[in-house]
Chain A
Amino acid sequence: MSAVITTQGLTRAFRNHTAVDSLDLRVPQGVVYGFLGPNGSGKSTTMKMLLGLTRPTSGGITLFGRPLTPASRIDLLRSIGSMIEAPPGYGHLTGLENMRIVQHMLDLADAQIDKALATVRLTAHRDKLVRNYSLGMKQRLGVAMALARDPALLVLDEPTNGLDPAGIEEIRTLLVELASEGITVMVSSHLLDEIDRMADVLGILSGGKLIFQGTRDELFEHSTPDLVIETPDPGAALALGITATPVSEGLRISGITKERTAEVVRRLAVAGVPIHEVRRVRQSLEDVFMDLTGRGGLL
């Protein structure tokens, strides 16, 4: 698969700290790329650099195989739909009038505007003032503005921000559908849960650094779920010098390898500690994410 976005050591420093630190992103063509990270981890700053809205301090960006430069920017942006931070929209105009502004800016056809509005299901509300739109409608209008130019790449910064579960599901379905049509979608969020079920590839950012990039399965492979040893006599186990946390059903050990697990079980058995069950805790992706961003990554 060819890559639509690649970055090489992309860095952006502000006066007193580095917001984005030597990112090597690779966004393959036609996928939904989930760009994850806690608040302030540098997602918006990265996306602004990808759109040429913010200058990198160092490093390079390649879009559709062409380097992003001030000269190539306008041409490249023609095929990139985007929504950064707050969804755009003039409150004193109607949804349709806002779309007409975008149409005039980019010299688009009427059909493109109608299609974009229909795609986000705003056609029925297009003559309402945007000021009176609900938050979800504003987000959808923002997506429609991004879609109007029939982009090959969509860069959406937290498009599900503030939406109710039904609204999130709707955006999710829409993005998956767009990706199936061959559009590459890069979507950010600070909640893994929100993009878990739509993202084919995940990039996880923490403190400006990329701490993981790959598929969901690869993410699970990297993580080591906690081990739970069910025993009625945790005290005896701890007396053997095993480092573990006592829990209601027995003991819990985190970050333990397969080899060490075998070793611990052998020692407990030799010492005659009754073992009812030994198992790995089933981890949600959210746990993996928290674990990862908490301890500073895998890469």
Chain B
Amino acid sequence: MTRAVVLELRKMRRLRTGPIVVLLVLAVAALSSASQFSGGTRETFDDPTAAPWAALLLTYTMMAAMTSPILTAVLASRQTDIEHAGAGWTLAATAGYTPGVLCRAKVVALSLVLLPAVALQSLLVIGAGAVAGIRAPLDAGPWIGYTTLLFLLDVAFLALHVWLAATVENQLVSVGIGMLGAFLAAFTLLIPSAVSRLIPWGYYAVIAHAAQDGDVVTYQTPPYAWIAGFLILVGAVYAFVTRRLDRIER
């Protein structure tokens, strides 16, 4: 497996995976913190009861929900389409790497790229908040919790899109579903969490560690059991479908 992951990292060369990720990380960080520099927001900075950090986290959650489904779809699709285009499935199969192994390795390799990217993204947002002048102390817990869950969700959707891209040769399908997912994710931020839990992309809203309550934004504890259940379900389904991929003959 380690060898298969290294192979995927080698194939990633010149696929512009790095630049795409960096670009999106910068965009999300910029969009999330843009409001920090507006006058209305600045007045809340010194007032701990106004929870400026929680408000920033909520904006960040919104931006990440809208962009992450597309980012994961694009990365997974690029990394998988090369196997269709280059007769890579057969090449790998004659060296003992089944399509299922390839797909699992792709998810791991892409996750290795996303891990530092998501961490950097959160740090950039926090940095922007500090630069803008938030004086209230930062509550690390919700930020770390949210960042961790955002990364794990991204991994889950990478898995979905690698499988889609491997199964359906037309990559418009995988990327199209990613765009639909982005819409759903943003939409579920506006509906009750009980409903969002039933929609896969709704989990980008379910993991929110901050919520708007009337005029004030407060930290909240997301339903960890549901999130863990969703991640475990995706993992189990992925293990099953990639094993099935091994039996498909091309």
Interface residues of A (CB under 8 A from B): 48, 51, 53-55, 74, 77, 80, 82, 84-93, 97, 100-102, 104-106, 130, 145
Contacts and interface: CB of A to CB of B under 8 A. Distances in A.
Interface stretch (B11-19, B189-197, B230-238): B11-19
Contacts of B86: 88-91, 130
Contacts of A145: 91
A130 B86 CA distance: 10
A25 to B, nearest CB: 19
Contacts of A130: 86
16 contacts: A53-B90, A77-B94, A86-B87, A88-B91, A90-B11, A90-B88, A92-B15, A92-B82, A93-B13, A93-B14, A101-B7, A101-B10, A102-B91, A104-B7, A105-B95, A145-B91
B14 A80 contact: no
Given A91-B86, A105-B7, 5 more contacts: A53-B93, A91-B85, A93-B11, A102-B91, A105-B92
Interface string B1-29: 00100110011011100000000000000
Contacts, number: 63
A163 to B, nearest CB: 17
B87 A101 contact: no
Q: How large is the interface on B (under 10, 10 to 19, 20 to 34, 35 or more residues)?
A: 20 to 34
Interface of B: 3, 6-7, 10-11, 13-15, 82, 85-88, 90-97, 249-250
A82 B94 CA distance: 8
B7 A90 contact: no
Given A97-B13, A101-B7, A90 B97 contact: no
B108 to A, nearest CB: 16
B10 A104 contact: yes
B80 to A, nearest CB: 12
Nearest to A55: B249
B9 to A, nearest CB: 10
A85 B249 CA distance: 14
A235 B240 CA distance: 76
Contacts of B90: 53, 84-85, 88
Nearest to A92: B14
Nearest to B85: A91
A88 B85 CA distance: 9
Contacts of B7: 101, 104-105
Contacts of A88: 86-88, 90-91
B87 A105 contact: no
What are the 6 closest A-B residue pairs judged by CB atoms, nearest first? A88-B91, A88-B87, A105-B95, A90-B86, A74-B96, A86-B87
A84 B89 CA distance: 11
Given A85-B87, A88-B88, A88-B91, A105 B97 contact: yes
A55 B247 CA distance: 9
Contacts of A91: 82, 85-86
Nearest to B3: A104
Contacts of B85: 90-91
